């Protein structure tokens, strides 16, 4: 597959961009189901330069990242729109927040249940088994394929992406193009 393509992964992540010999090559964007995206220049399936934008419009910066840095813990929407009035605390970046089932966590595209170690969609449909960031770090670059995916972009960005999305498609994209 060569030229401009649109490819949708089984998890609904979509790649829109250029390919060569069946690999991401040239300019392309990974659009994630939660609205975030990773725009990059790809070379033989590896990102050479790229930027990650969260669903709310916040763009990740590898240097001088000041979002949620210990001094300013506001949500991005609060930085853009100001704080809510007294008595109307904002507990998530989404206002009003989703109702999260007891013992679960909202991970951007569904709920993570740490007891079952699965992620289900907001409507209750099974999305995937969960892999912890710790077990990701224990993978070798050849088995994860992710080190090649990020290239010069850096492992720090990848860790931010994984922690915020708990999403397998970056790994799937990298391993399917190696």
Q: Is the pTM of this model over 0.85?
A: no
Strand ranges (DSSP E) for the chain?
3-8, 14-20, 23-31, 37-43, 46-53, 105-106, 111-113, 118-120, 126-129
The per-residue pLDDT for 40 is 93
The per-residue pLDDT for 18 is 93
Burial of 173 (0-12, 13-18, 19+ CB in 10 A): buried
Mean pLDDT of the chain: 75
The per-residue pLDDT for 148 is 41
Sheet with 14-20, strands from edge to edge, namely 3-8, 14-20, 23-31, 37-43, 46-53
SS3 42: strand
Taking the chain (178 residues) in consecutive chunks of 10 residues, what is each chunk's mean pLDDT? 87 91 92 90 90 86 76 78 77 78 85 90 87 52 41 49 50 45
Angle 155-165/169-177 helices, nearest 10 degrees? 130
Q: What is the pLDDT of residues 90-134, one digit of tens each?
A: 777 777 778 889 999 887 778 889 999 898 988 888 988 876 555
């Amino acid at each position: 597959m060569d030229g401009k393509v649109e490819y949708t992964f089984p998890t609904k992540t979509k790649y829109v961009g250029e390919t060569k010999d069946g690999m991401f090559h040239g300019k392309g964007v990974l659009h994630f189901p939660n609205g975030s995206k990773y725009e990059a220049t790809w070379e033989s399936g590896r990102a050479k330069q790229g930027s990650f934008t969260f669903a709310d419009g916040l763009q990740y910066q590898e240097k001088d990242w000041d979002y949620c840095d210990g001094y300013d813990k506001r949500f991005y929407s609060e930085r853009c729109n100001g704080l809510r009035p007294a008595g109307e605390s904002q507990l998530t970046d989404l206002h009003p927040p989703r109702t999260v089932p007891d013992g679960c966590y909202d991970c951007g595209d569904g709920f993570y249940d740490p007891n079952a170690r699965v992620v289900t969609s907001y409507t209750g449909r099974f999305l995937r088994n969960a892999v912890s960031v710790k077990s990701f770090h224990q993978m070798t670059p050849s088995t994860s394929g992710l080190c090649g995916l990020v290239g010069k972009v850096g492992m720090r960005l990848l860790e931010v992406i994984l922690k915020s999305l708990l999403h397998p498609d970056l790994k799937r994209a990298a391993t399917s193009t190696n």
